[in-house]
Amino acid sequence: MALLKVRGLTKRFDGLQANSEIDLEIPEGSLFGVIGPNGAGKTTFFNMISGFQQPTAGTIEFAGTDITNMRQDKIAAMGLVRTFQLVQLFKDMSVAENVEVGFHLATKGGVAAAVARLAWFRRQEAEIHAKARELLDFVGLADQAEQDAELLPYGQQRLLEVARALAAQPRLLLLDEPAAGLNSHETDALAKIIQQVNGQGITVLLIEHDVALVTRIAQRIAVLDFGCKITEGTPDEIKRHPDVIAAYLGTDEAAHA
């Protein structure tokens, strides 16, 4: 069954067609990749799905509910959680606290609960404290838990964003160019983590510029170019597809290929 169904998704910024009529279905439990050259409209597509931009036309359905134009925090509460191409860490907070913020949806209590600190509240705090360590351990950041998030090297900041998103207990995890700026060693570590996350039953939608990474780990891939979906298929089909080669290498080279 499709967990995410996108129909005719279109976004126009005066005159510029950023996305036009994109149709996509992401099966539950899959690891799905979206690739495309810079400026192909990948991030716009992503922003619309996660509620950060309003589509000009089209519908987005998540787990059977229409989430088109829904507020970002409501979409997250339904289990669709994203990361950002430009990492959006909470810089003034420690690495562990960043992950603890991720548990916002999984916990409860406001001002009164925080002042009163009854037994259930203290238990909840202790629980997310422990669970945050587990997640940091999972992405390999356990030793940096008490550091300021801002002091992490770039590659680790990306891993922290993934850990934080996992804390929100997503059904569908949207990763926006998670390998951007990582070296090959870091990319390998990230690939392993993404596969493990998917192995736990979490559906993953991976938007990436790095074709090698996506063709290696994704089960199915859609290709965007100039705001349109030009094709979709298995990694092998995509690698051989002439339009894909054309989109990445330019038409002249494609003709010679």
Partner 1 sequence: MTSRAIIFSKLGDYGYIAIGGAICIALLFGLVFIHGGYLVTVLQLAMIYGIFCVGLNFFMGYTGQASFGQNAFAAIGGYGTAIFCVQYNWEPILALLVSMGIAGIAALVVGYPTLRLRGHYLAMATFALGLITYDISVQWTSLTQGYMGYSGIPPLGIGPFTVEDERMKLLCLIAVVLFGLWISYRLRASRFGRALRAISTSEPGAAALGIRVSHYKLAAFIIAALYASAAGSLFAHVVGFISPEVFGLQMVVVTFTMLYVGGIGTVLGPAIGAIIASLLPEVFRSTGRFQDIAYAAVLLLLLIFMPKGLSALADIGRSRAPRPRAEG
Contacting positions for partner 1 (CB under 8 A)? 50, 52, 71-73, 76-77, 81-84, 88-93, 97, 100-105, 107-111, 113-115, 117, 121, 124-125, 143-148, 151, 164-165, 167-168
- Which of residues 75 and 247 has its CB atom nearest to partner 1 in the complex? 75
Helix (H, G, I), strand (E, B), or coil: what is residue 133? helix
Contacts of 166 (CB under 8 A, 6+ apart): 102, 135, 138, 173, 197, 202
Find the angle CA(112)-CA(78)-CA(28) to the nearest 5 degrees.
Answer: 150
CB burial of 37-63 (b: ≥16 within 10 Å; e: otherwise) equals: beebbbbbbbbbbbbebebeebebbbb
Helix (H, G, I), strand (E, B), or coil: what is residue 14? coil
Contact 21, 222 (CB under 8 A): no
What is the residue whose two structure tokens read 């967990």? 3
- Which of residues 20 and 47 has its CB atom nearest to partner 1 in the complex? 47
- Which of residues 86 and 257 has its CB atom nearest to partner 1 in the complex? 86
Smallest distance from partner 1 to CB 83, Å: 8
Contact 22, 37 (CB under 8 A): no
Smallest distance from partner 1 to CB 249, Å: 34
List phi, psi (to 5°) of 157: -60, -40
- Which of residues 77 and 245 has its CB atom nearest to partner 1 in the complex? 77
- Which of residues 168 and 221 has its CB atom nearest to partner 1 in the complex? 168
Residues 229, 232: Cα–Cα separation, whole Å: 8
- Which of residues 34 and 168 has its CB atom nearest to partner 1 in the complex? 168
- Which of residues 61 and 148 has its CB atom nearest to partner 1 in the complex? 148
Helix (H, G, I), strand (E, B), or coil: what is residue 51? coil
Smallest distance from partner 1 to CB 126, Å: 12
Smallest distance from partner 1 to CB 4, Å: 16
3-state helix, strand, coil in the chain (%, to 5): 45, 25, 30
Residues 77, 255: Cα–Cα separation, whole Å: 47
